[in-house]
């Protein structure tokens, strides 16, 4: 049946300005790293994308290697885009990335101009898009001069294949250098995509300061710690959970569910209940408490996870006492 999006889709979600750019992103974005590969049913993928768009999520995050196998998530997105979203192209911000191993030989990995240019052409073919909104270098490459990687991003914007460029997984000092090179080239860096959650605090060690100074937005990934910062693993490991599915490619495994983190999740879950939220909602709201954060990219295997997430800012802002209690739980001092 033809997809008719919810007419009220822009009524509830907050849209935040991305750094000093003119672009606003939804506070919650949807990532296609997991659950959009060959093993996943097209019907569920369709439901997830429609649920997100109906809830006001205008930003879908891809990468060349998302699947499995690599490339599959872009192909899945391309099929659904053709069926459901082509008429809404100008309402969407689609990102993709290159930087991890994608094809054999010396040109399918890293940060060379050769790799970044060829990979975006492949991504456009798989998705059926004429251009992506944001093209990221997925990780720094110590074997390629930053000038070459940033020069490739700038060239792709000038060719009309990307509207904006971003960095992912760049430490603070390299991010600052990359931003300076991009500014000099006339293609300012739009956004940085780091891992950031209650359990992974690295961006607080300098990166967020650099991004604020440079006027660059910040969009966090794995802010639910792949499900650990939800109530999902509090009573064991459900058979349909990511940890049980042995997905590989960086997906969390059962052995990584440490008893210490599950205990923290249990205490955080109680605190979330006091706030009238689910733990997932509190974990997302906690990342978004910092005004330097533009958005959080969630992953989802079920539509309810999306509708749950978009209501994360409904509860009152965190008070100092609550933030202190969260810090104490995270430090294991309770
Ligand atoms: N730039 C990078 O290097 C990089 C790396 C990783 C990810 N990312 C981006 O960030 C996106 C999100 O990453 P992620 O999947 O690790 O994020 P996440 O939001 O931390 O984890 C998502 C998973 O948590 C579970 N979940 C979500 N909501 C839940 C709820 N309300 N209750 C219970 N369980 C819930 C689901 O797993 P189940 O399958 O168990 O239901 C879901 O697939 C990716 O898709 C990608 O776009 C980028």
pTM above 0.95, yes or no: yes
**Distance (Å) from CA 34 to ligand 1 centroid:** 7
Angle at 179 between CA 209 and CA 183, to 5 degrees: 130
Residue 87: CB partners within 8 Å, gap ≥ 6? none
Please report, in angstroms and rounded to a whole number, the separation of the first and last CA atoms in the chain. Answer: 53
Give residue-wise pLDDT tens across range 6-37: 999 999 999 999 999 999 999 999 999 999 99
Closest protein CA for atom 34 of ligand 1: 227
Composition of the chain by helix, strand, coil, percent to 5: 40, 15, 45
Atom of ligand 1 nearest to the CA of 308: 31
* CA dist., res. 110 & res. 222, Å (int): 22
Distance (Å) from CA 299 to ligand 1 centroid: 3
Residues lining ligand 1, judged by CB closer than 6 Å?
A: 31-35, 61, 138, 168-169, 193, 221-227, 230, 232, 241-242, 280, 297-301, 305, 308
Mean pLDDT score of the chain, rounded to an integer? 97
The pLDDT tens digits for 51-79 are: 999 999 999 999 999 999 999 999 999 99
Name the residue of 64, 286, 300 to mutate for ligand 1: max ligand atoms within 8 A of Cβ: 300
Q: Please choose, from the candidates 170, 163, 221, the residue with its C-alpha nearest in 3D space to the C-alpha of residue 190.
A: 163
Q: Distance, CA 24 to ligand 1 centroid (Å)?
A: 22
Would you say residue 284 has pLDDT above 80?
yes
Report the distance separating Cα 269 and Cα 252, nearest Å: 20
Which residues, 6+ apart, have CB-to-CB distance to 24 below 8 Å? 15, 16, 17, 18
* Spatial separation of the C-alpha atoms in residues 97 and 139, rounded to whole Å: 9
CA of 52 to the centre of ligand 1 (A): 14
**CATH fold group of domain 15-227+290-317:** TIM Barrel (3.20.20)
The model's pLDDT over 84-102, given as tens digits with 9 standing for 90+, comes to 999 999 999 999 999 999 9
**Conformation bin of residue 146: beta by default, left when phi > 0, alpha when psi is -120 to 50:** alpha
Question: Residue 144 — very low, low, confident or very high, per pLDDT cuts 50/70/90?
Answer: very high
Among residues 122, 119, 170, 118, the alpha carbon closest in space to that of 146 is found at 170
How close is the Cα of 258 to the center of ligand 1, in Å? 18
For ligand 1, atom 11, the nearest C-alpha belongs to 31
- DSSP secondary-structure letter at 267? H
Q: Which of 274, 272, 273 is nearest to 282 (CA)?
A: 272
Structure tokens belonging to residue 61? 């995050």
Protein residue whose Cα sits closest to atom 46 of ligand 1 = 31
Report the C-alpha gap between 57 and 286 in whole angstroms.
19
- Give residue 333's pLDDT band: very low, low, confident or very high (50, 70, 90): confident
Span 211-263, pLDDT tens digits: 999 999 999 999 999 999 999 999 999 999 999 988 888 999 999 999 999 99
In tens, the pLDDT along 290-306 reads 999 999 999 999 999 99
pLDDT one-digit tens code per residue, 148-184 = 999 999 999 999 999 999 999 999 999 999 999 999 9
Q: Which atom of ligand 1 is nearest to the CA of 197?
A: 20
Contacts 24+ apart (CB under 8 A), 286-289: 286/198, 286/318, 286/326, 287/196, 287/197, 287/198, 287/220, 287/223, 288/27, 288/312, 288/313, 289/317, 289/318, 289/323
State which of 198, 224, 234, 257 you would mutate to test the pocket of ligand 1, scoring each by most atoms of that ligand within 8 A of its C-beta: 224
Which pLDDT belongs to residue 32? 98
- Asked if pLDDT for residue 128 goes beyond 90, the answer is yes
């Amino acid at each position: 049946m033809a997809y008719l999006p919810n007419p009220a889709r822009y009524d509830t979600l907050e849209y935040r300005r991305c750094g000093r750019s003119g672009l606003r992103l939804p506070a919650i974005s949807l990532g296609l790293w997991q659950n959009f590969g060959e093993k996943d049913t097209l019907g569920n993928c369709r439901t997830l994308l429609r649920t997100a768009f109906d809830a006001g999520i205008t930003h879908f995050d891809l990468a060349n290697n998302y699947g499995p196998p690599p490339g599959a998530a872009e192909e899945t997105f391309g099929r659904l885009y053709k069926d459901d979203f082509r008429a809404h192209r100008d309402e969407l911000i689609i990102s993709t990335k290159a930087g991890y191993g994608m094809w054999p030989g010396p040109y399918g990995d890293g940060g060379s101009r050769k790799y970044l240019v060829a990979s975006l052409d492949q991504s456009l073919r798989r998705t059926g898009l004429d251009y992506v909104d944001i093209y990221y270098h997925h990780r720094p490459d110590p074997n390629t001069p930053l000038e070459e990687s940033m020069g490739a991003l700038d060239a792709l914007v000038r060719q009309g294949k990307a509207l904006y460029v971003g960095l992912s997984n760049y430490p603070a000092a390299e991010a600052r250098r990359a931003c300076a090179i991009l500014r000099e080239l006339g293609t300012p860096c739009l956004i940085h995509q780091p891992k950031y959650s209650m359990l992974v605090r690295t961006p607080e060690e300098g990166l967020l300061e650099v991004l604020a100074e440079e006027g660059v937005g910040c969009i966090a990934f794995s802010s639910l710690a792949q499900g650990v910062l939800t109530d999902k693993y509090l009573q064991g490991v459900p058979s349909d959970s990511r940890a049980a599915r042995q997905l590989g490619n960086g997906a969390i495994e059962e052995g990584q569910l440490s008893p210490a983190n599950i205990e923290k999740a249990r205490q955080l879950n109680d605190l979330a209940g006091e706030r009238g939220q689910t733990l997932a909602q509190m974990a997302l709201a906690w990342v978004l408490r910092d005004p330097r954060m533009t958005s959080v990219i969630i992953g989802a295997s079920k539509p309810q996870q999306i509708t749950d997430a978009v209501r994360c800012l409904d509860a009152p802002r965190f008070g100092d006492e609550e933030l202190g209690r969260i810090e104490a739980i995270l430090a294991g001092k309770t």
